[in-house]
Each structure stands twice: as structure tokens, then as C-alpha cells.
Copies of this chain bind each other. A is one copy, B any other.
Amino acid sequence: MSTAPVAPEVVAYVHDIARRARGAARELALLTRAEKDATLHAMADAVEAGAAEVVTANQEDLRRGREKGLPENLLDRLTLDEERVRAVAGALREVAALPDPVGEVVRGSTLANGLQIRQVRVPMGVVGMIYEARPNVTVDAAGLGLKSGNAVILRGGSAAGSTNARLVELLRGALVGRGLDPDAVNLLTEGGHDAGRALMTARGLVDLVIPRGGASLIRTVVLESTVPVIETGTGNCHVYVDAAADTEMAVQVVLNSKTHRTSVCNSAESLIVHRDAAERVLPGIMAGFAAAGVTVHGDAEMERYAEAAGAAHVPVTDEDDDTEFLSLDISARVVDSLEDAIAHVQAHTSGHTEAIVTGDRAAARRFIAEIDAAAVMVNASTRFTDGGEFGFGAEIGISTQKLHARGPMALPELTTTKWVVEGDGQVR
């Protein structure tokens, strides 16, 4: 993105939408759960009823994408057929079934002077989302926003422009049908990237911005935003196989963490194996890598095991240690001790998910205590760091920052709190 000032007409466009969203947010904050759930069902019905139009709009996006030479994997993520549209609508109904975080009393007490204080969950207000290709994020964000009482301002990728516009039109129609302010769900359709920049600097109008997408998008938002941000996504996840690891478990956890789905933030990007386990576990791991087509970026010892098992391999570089490949590649090193493994992870973690495979209780406890990440796994695949897997029912992203939310973010993470203090005229 450019660092030139955003054109005043783009700022005016975004601020106008944000001001109207604030008005809608006031209404949303007062809705009961029953009203919100009925609205979510109305939104799901509207999306389903409009499925054919959505697919037509999506085909326009796909045609434009092909003309521009978008890579096949992006085109695939962009594609919506009627079945996928129904799944998107179904996700709204699942959000309706989740508990309402708004109104939850987080803590409370009666003070010595008789004042009754309670900390209550309330909506954030206006939440901005800046994201890339997948149009299902548009509907998910609108649904999670509505359930948590927030108005949303969406700045989706231009590649999905027609699809997003049609989806948001359907969602806004459903709001109007329920007698609600359609400005609860907004799509920035003008201003291109600059609209996103205006959004992330609309202090006082926007309460939170969540970027979701590639590392460069997230970096731009984190560095340029003056609105509070939740950083999501980057996962340079390690699996450390300890000296005391069960052989079969180590093989399964490593292979699942790396190969179950490579394009996601909770897949493993680095394998660390204790020297004492190498001979036991690496033949099986490397055979699995060979079968799955993984390229091992290994130190000399790792390359030897890869070679023996017929797995592709290249020498590991310092840069590989910090690379989130999101592909069938993995950096791999043999270490001499648990201490060295912990030091390596501490030096290269992106703070997402780090796993140890071990049968040694002391090693597990030490790894849990010393690794600073959103999730620390013992004897489990890194792929479990996920709102759905954790039982949250829905996920707006995975936070890799420490402020406010860390790990999978669901409905409660889209709220803040308010202290309510009730008295009988108390003064100090």
C-alpha cells in the first residue's frame, strides 16, 4: 500500500459510512438475544434465497480474476457454487445457536460503602474487517458482528468485489425486513486500498480493526492503524519431538501438523527433533514426508534422513527458520537437548502454536511454562488451534498478539466491558 495521504473524498466516504454504522451500533447494543437470533435466521434465509444471484456475481469475479491471471488456488478460494452459498447461510444459523456474550456479568461485588459494582460485557461498537479473497468471511463477519451487537464495516479484497456486494445487499435487505438499520452491515465498495487506510485511521468512529489475510496485509494494518488492532494469523509453528517421545505418536503428530492442510496458519512450518529420538522417529517422519511430497529444509543430519527415505530436501537457511511456508515445505533441525529446543522455538516463534511430543512429564511442564505462544500443545497436532475445534462454534480469526485476545477469537472477543456502579448517593 502507498504511504501518500488518503484522498479527502475517500476519507469523507469512509467516515460517512462509519458515522452511520455508529448509529446502527447504538440500536444493535440494545437488541435482545431473541431479536438478534431471529435476524440471523432472516439473514441466512435471504442469502439462501439469493443464492443464484450470488453465484452469478461470483462468476463475474471469477471471469475478471482469470483475465487478470489470478493463480488457481486463489480462484478456488474465491469460488462459490450454490452448495457453498448454502454452507455460508448455514454458518449464520450456527451463530444464532451460540450463546449471546452481551450482558454477561464478568465480575462484581458490593463495596464497603454499599456501592454495588459489576463488570458487564457490552459490544465494541463499530468493528472494521480488512481481508482478502474468501467471500464467506463477509457473511461470517456480519453474523458474528450482529450476534455480538457490533456494526461491521467490511473492506474485502477487490477480487471478490461483485460477490461481496451481492452478499451484503442480501444481508442489509434482511436487516430492513426485520425493521433494523441496514447500516449495521457495511461494505466499502469505493476508494480501493485507500478506503482500508481511511478505515484504520478513523479514530473515534471505529473501535477495532481486524486484518485477516496474508502477512503483508496484516503488517500494513498493524503499522499504519491508529485504531486499536487485533493482529491475526502468522503461524511459524514448531513441532518439537523430545527424547522421550512415543515413536508412532511423534510420526502422526508431525505428519498431521505439516500435511493435513498446508495453507493455514496452524500448520507446522518447523520440525525440531532431539538427537536421542532422531534414529527412532525420523525414518517414519521422512517416509511420510516423501509420500506427501514435503520438501525438507534440513540441517546435515535431517538431510541424511530425508535422503534415506526418498524425501525432497535442501539445506536449511537462517531465513527458513523464520519462514511461514504455507506450502509442502518444512524447516528441520536436530537439537542436543530440551533447552536447545526451547531456545530455538523462543527465538523463532511467531507466537501462534508450538507443540511438543513427549512422554516425559517434566519436559512437558517445562515446555508449557517456557514457551510464549497463543497455544502450547502437548502430544497433539498444531492443527487444533481453531475456534471450531475449541468448541467456540465460530471464529473471526486467530490472534497472535497478547492484548485483549490471544488464540482463536469468537464472540466474547468481539465485546468489551463496562463497569456499572449503583449507589444511594455515595460520595468520597
Residues of A within 8 A of B (CB): 26, 29-30, 109, 111, 115, 117, 119, 122, 124-125, 203, 207-208, 222-223, 226, 228-230, 246, 248-249, 252-253, 255-257, 260, 346, 357, 364, 368-370, 372-381, 383-385, 389-391, 401-404, 406-407, 416-428
Contact = CB atoms under 8 A, between A and B. Distances in A.
Contact of A260 (B117, B119, B428): B428
Main secondary structure of the interface of A (DSSP, over half): mixed
A208 B256 CA distance: 34
28 contacts: A26-B370, A29-B370, A115-B380, A125-B372, A125-B402, A208-B403, A223-B226, A228-B402, A246-B425, A249-B424, A249-B425, A256-B427, A260-B428, A357-B425, A364-B422, A375-B418, A375-B421, A376-B421, A377-B422, A378-B420, A379-B422, A380-B422, A383-B427, A385-B419, A385-B421, A403-B404, A406-B418, A407-B418
B389 A428 contact: yes
Contacts of A255: 427
A249 B423 CA distance: 11
Contacts of A222: 203, 226
A233 to B, nearest CB: 16
How many copies of this protein are present in the complex?
A: 2
Contact of A406 (B26, B368, B381, B417): B417
Contacts of A407: 119, 417-419
B30 A418 contact: no
Contact of A122 (B111, B248, B260, B372): B372
A347 to B, nearest CB: 11
Contact of A379 (B379, B416, B425): B425
Contacts of A383: 427-428
A410 to B, nearest CB: 12
B423 A115 contact: no
A260 B427 contact: yes
A71 B407 CA distance: 48
Contact of A253 (B203, B357, B381, B427): B427
Contact of A389 (B111, B125, B402): B111
Given A377-B421, A378-B423, A403 B228 contact: yes
Nearest to A378: B422
Nearest to A364: B422
A54 to B, nearest CB: 30
A368 B255 CA distance: 53
Given A226-B222, A391-B111, A416-B402, A369 B30 contact: yes
A402 B208 contact: yes
A284 to B, nearest CB: 13
Among A207, A370, A404, chain B packs the most CB atoms within 10 A around the CB of: A404
Given A29-B369, A402-B124, A252 B378 contact: no
Contacts of A252: 425, 427
